[in-house]
Amino acid sequence: MFKENSNLSSIRKGQIEVICGSMFSGKTEELIRRLKRAKFAKLKIKTFNPHVDNRYGKSKLISHNSTEIKSLTIKKSHEILDLYDNVDIVGIDEAQFLDDELPNICNALADRGVRVIVAGLDMDYLGKPFGVIPKIMAIAEFVTKVHAVCVGCGDIALNSHRTSLSKNLVEIGSEKNYQALCRMCFIKKNK
């Protein structure tokens, strides 16, 4: 007869998941959905977001359609290791604004058996890979690319077109500063 090893049944399997796409594609909404499902399953979660994204305050993540969940604000990615408190799942929103150490932090957590869910922009307003997201995508077990709707033609949008004149790489904004555009509309707007 098979006897279950009690040590094996308590081992958690860590993994990294990435939710990426343009602005207005539902990245934060999908992150919150996954975290709320985990809470429903009685799993312990902890959520983090970078201090530079203070559009909705410092104690919660809020999607563009007002879905929200409690969150901690951090300045550096290494703070996650100090604050994660042996939880089952760590959620990280707007990860493109965090430092280059984040991929190592994600690996360290996954190696400890934590499910890490990272959400962020995969491309900047110029259509180039943005921040640490491409590096985390490379080490992730699962990558989900979500799409917005192009405001130019109604097709699927993969670009975050900046409508303001700012040339800063990081420019926190919303519908008044950005538009979601498909490839062709993005090319036309940027000629």
Q: Is 94 assigned a catalytic role?
A: yes
Active-site residue, from 68, 94, 101, 171: 94
Question: What pLDDT was estimated at residue 190?
Answer: 87
Q: What is the CATH number of the domain that holds 134?
A: 3.40.50.300
Burial class (CB in 10 A: 0-12, 13-18, 19+), 189: middle
Q: For residue 78, is it within any domain?
A: yes
**The total number of structural domains that make up the chain:** 1
Please list the pLDDT of the chain residue by residue as tens digits (191 residues): 334 443 444 567 899 999 999 999 999 999 999 999 999 999 999 999 998 865 555 666 666 666 777 889 999 999 999 998 889 999 999 999 999 999 999 999 999 999 999 999 999 999 999 999 999 999 999 999 999 999 999 999 999 998 876 666 666 555 668 899 999 999 999 88
- Whole-model pTM: value is 0.86
Asked, for residue 42, whether it belongs to a domain, the answer is: yes
Q: Domain range for residue 27? A: 12-147
